[in-house]
Amino acid sequence: MDFLPLFHNLKGREVLVIGGGEIALRKARLLSEAGAVLRVVAPEVEPELSELVQKGGGRTILRCYEPNDLAGCVLAIAATDDEPLNAQVSQDARALGMPVNVVDSPELCTVIFPAIVDRSPLMIAVSSGGDAPVLARLMRARIETWVPSVYGELAGLAKKFRSQVKARFADVQQRRVFWEEVFQGDVAERALAGQQQEAERLLVEKLSSAEPKSLGEVYLVGAGPGDPDLLTFRALRLMQQADVVLYDRLVAPAILDLCRRDADRIYVGKQRAAHAVPQDQINQLLVTLAKEGKRVLRLKGGDPFIFGRGGEEIEELAAHDVPFQVVPGITAASGCAAYAGIPLTHRDHAQSVRFVTGHLKDGSCDLPWSELVAPSQTLVFYMGLVGLPVICQQLIAHGRAADTPAALVQQGTTVNQRVFTGTLANLAERVASEEVQAPTLVIIGEVVQLREKLAWFEGAQNRDR
């Protein structure tokens, strides 16, 4: 994050604008709309800018800039085509600790002007950090079409009832839940349809009958294999409204960033033989947090019901009568195979697919090997990196051909994806010579040979090794 977005209250406060031309006028219009009192300094000032300054109770000073012009101001804008002058204004303002914006010179700015979607009191700002202002304006144009002007009236309705809701619900969490229900229910529908009186009536009715909720809910959500674009709409919606997030090491940082910013985050990650929080404690924590009235997001890599212990967790929730929802995710086998260009089934090569865990609950790799060597079957091993030599040896020992194609996918669907291909006879040796990082997935079967033709998610970072 190059800039932290902030909204400034400039009402009745003086802002210095250096420059008297068209660029200065554009900035002055925005500042004036925000209620700022303008102090414009320039040898010449366009008539429209002078009129704007006068209308807002500001001053126009017809001379060159002097450092003392900054006195009493809360923001400085350098809007001239004189680069040395702009640099001087930036230096002087920074020395005073004053925010400064230099038009078309991001390196001289401590604050920048975003592209604005104004639905007052709802404001949406879009910025590229000064690197691509045209792109920011195009994005603003898109948002303009997505957010009707009536959203401002909906925000105004919330402002009108804010104090009453605060009096009704002493707890911040309870107020948040109430407003989310308002903005996603009949009240919002009426307001957005232009039926403001009906929206207000429904809000009064809802407020008078609302009761503080003492029991929360748990969302068991599959985050998929790593690419944020593979999240479901429902997963994203619940991620945005949860109060607490319990996540493990398989959840990609880019996905975690999509959770509500002010939600509490608790890491409960697991690695082979090293659990940050034991599973029984995770189960109890979900129950405890929900009984405190919180909406708890249990975010899991892949799908929670495929080697994700989701069944164990909701068993505990059900035993304590805690409400929960389950949102499936794209499991690693499906996602990683697709991004590696390996179809798990194919009419000519595999008529079935089997998902297998690379190590059991007791840490061993004692699997029903005789069932895993059936012909025309694709095997997918989760958590199979450490046990890869044993997996390959046992499959060969129980009758699978040593030249059976095999692949290991590292951090599939992400920019760090790497795919190592070989056979049962040599894959373990090839992987051992590389610095492979979990999470990984092992795919075994004739379908692996199709990767040579079907690989599409390619780049310098994920070529075959």
Residues contributing to the annotated binding site: 22-23, 43-44, 225, 301-303, 306, 331-332, 383, 412
Contacts of 36-40 with C-beta under 8 Å, sequence gap 24+, read: 36/10, 36/11, 36/75, 37/12, 37/13, 38/14, 39/14, 39/15, 39/69, 39/73
Residue with tokens 């990196």: 385
Of the candidates 213, 270, 291, 464, the residue annotated as catalytic is: 270
Residues contacting 167, CB < 8 A, separation 6+ = none
Place of tokens 């003492």: 214
Active-site choice (27, 227, 248, 294) = 248
Could you give the residue ranges of the DSSP H alpha helices within 292-353?
A: 310-319, 332-340
Burial of 349 (0-12, 13-18, 19+ CB in 10 A): middle
DSSP bridge pairs for 271: 274
Q: What is the DSSP string of 157-186?
A: HHHHHHHHHHHH--SHHHHHHHHHHHHTSH
Which own/partner contact pairs does 363-369 have at CB distance under 8 Å and 24+ positions apart?
A: 363/272, 363/273, 365/390, 365/391, 365/394, 367/394, 369/394, 369/395, 369/397, 369/398
206 is catalytic: no
Binding site for NAD(+): which residues? 22-23, 43-44
Find all residues with CB under 8 Å of 373, minimum gap 6, and list them: 395, 398, 399, 400
Give the separation between CA 88 and CA 90, rounded to whole angstroms.
5
Q: Collapsing DSSP states into helix, strand and coil, what is residue 416?
A: coil
Per-residue b or e along 231-264, where b marks 16 or more CB atoms closer than 10 Å to that residue's CB: bbeebeebbebbbbbbbbebbbeebbebbbeebe
* Residues of the binding site for S-adenosyl-L-methionine: 225, 301-303, 306, 331-332, 383, 412
Q: Is 321 a catalytic residue?
A: no
Q: Which of 245, 248, 239 is nearest to 279 (CA)?
A: 248
Distance (Å, whole) CA 76 – CA 27: 11
Residues catalogued as catalytic: 248, 270
